[in-house]
Amino acid sequence: MNQKGRKYHVPALLKESVDGLAIHLSGVYVDVTFGGGGHSNGILTKLGKDGRLYGFDKDVDAEDNRIDDERFTFVRGDFRYLSNFLRYHGEREIDGILADLGVSSHHFDDASRGFSFRFDGELDMRMNNRAGQTAADVLNTYSEEQLSSLFYMYGELKYARRLASVVVKRRASKPVTHVEDLIEMTSPFLDRKDVKKSMAQVFQALRIEVNQEVQALRELLTQSLALLPTGGRLAIITYHSLEDRLVKNFIKSGNFEGRITRDVFGNILTSICPIGKVIVPSAEEVEANPRARSAKLRIGEKRS
């Protein structure tokens, strides 16, 4: 990885996720969350001269990290449209998909992007800052019920209704536009035993909504079944329980509810199955890269 890529993002569970793909020398693989290129570089070290790797990212900043390798193609696009982009590049079937669903360090450390409560700045939070609604748009236009729902579902905040009410009352007199506005409003209602964790949950909820992360993940997983051949692999790294639950259920059962169906002989009917158990970072990795501490890796394999 080049120096710029290292500064952009330190990849979590690098060896474990790349090994989980069981890479074939001449296979075709996709890193749907290219970011700083860490996982992509790891995949390229396993590929032979006839192998192929596509790196997807909708953030224009990530394109600066693209890899100078004839086996690599950077795609500036959202992975929820994976099938369409791959068809454009002449690929109908791929051997493996890797996704690191965490937010890049670059996003957290860039005050202008509004992802972190450590810096004041405009409440943007868009992965693709060229299109779509911002966090400020969500806070200033959603109904109280919609805000309450997203704080509860995506932030797992037990006081979601109170937070939504505060936002609606505040915006009636002054629009909510900056990080400091959000901190000022929500701080009195957060868990005093762990304010930073609670604030992170508020920001997480908004970020997930702004970037439609749950919907995108569902679409990615659904498309994977059509793209992967028998024996093809999925390696998905998640960072919060909502995403992990979706991935766990899907790899176990082929659906998002985790609903198991069996044939008359009791065999599970599903097009995908888990490989091994969930993998989490070692204590050494967490010490070297604290942002990896909540990462969970699940690996699935396509069945016939």
97 and 243, same domain (yes or no): yes
Say if 112 falls within a structural domain: no
229 and 291, same domain (yes or no): yes
Say if 290 falls within a structural domain: yes
DSSP the chain: --HHHHHH-PPSSHHHHHHHT---TT-EEEES--TTSHHHHHHHTT--TT-EEEEE---GGGGGG----TTEEEE-S-GGGHHHHHHHTT-S--SEEEEE-SPPHHHHH-GGG---TTS--B----SSTTSS--HHHHHHHS-HHHHHHHHHHHH--TTHHHHHHHHHHHHHHS---BHHHHHHHHGGGS-TT-HHHHHHHHHHHHHHHHTTHHHHHHHHHHHHHHH--TT-EEEEEE-SHHHHHHHHHHHHHSSTT----B-TTS-B--SEEE-SS-B---HHHHHH-GGGTT-EEEEEEE--
The yes-or-no verdict on residue 280 having pLDDT over 60 is: yes
Torsion of CA 151, 155, 156, 162, to 10 degrees: -30
Please state, rounded to an integer, the average pLDDT across all residues of the chain: 91
CATH number, domain at 171? 1.10.150.170
Tell me, what's the pLDDT at 119? 74
96 and 217, same domain (yes or no): yes
156 and 283, same domain (yes or no): no
| Single pTM value for the model | 0.90
205 and 226, same domain (yes or no): no
Say if 124 falls within a structural domain: no
**CA distance linking residue 222 with residue 145, whole number of Å:** 29
CATH number, domain at 238? 3.40.50.150
Which span out of 257-261, 266-270, 275-279 was modeled with the highest average pLDDT? Answer: 275-279
Say if 111 falls within a structural domain: no
Structural domain span for residue 183: 129-210
**CA distance linking residue 223 with residue 204, whole number of Å:** 25
Q: Which of the residue ranges 31-35, 192-196, 291-295 would you say has the lowest mean pLDDT?
A: 192-196
Say if 52 falls within a structural domain: yes
Q: Which of 190, 210, 230 is the last residue of a domain?
A: 210
Say if 274 falls within a structural domain: yes
Q: Which of 180, 210, 240 is the last residue of a domain?
A: 210
pLDDT band at 265 (very low <50, low <70, confident <90, very high): confident
Say if 115 falls within a structural domain: no
Q: Which of 210, 238, 254 is the last residue of a domain?
A: 210
Half-sphere exposure of 81 (CA within 13 A, CB side): 10
Q: 154 and 209 in contact (C-beta within 8 Å)? A: yes
- How many domains does the chain divide into? 2
Q: Which of the residue ranges 57-66, 90-99, 237-246 would you say has the lowest mean pLDDT?
A: 57-66
The yes-or-no verdict on residue 109 having pLDDT over 90 is: no
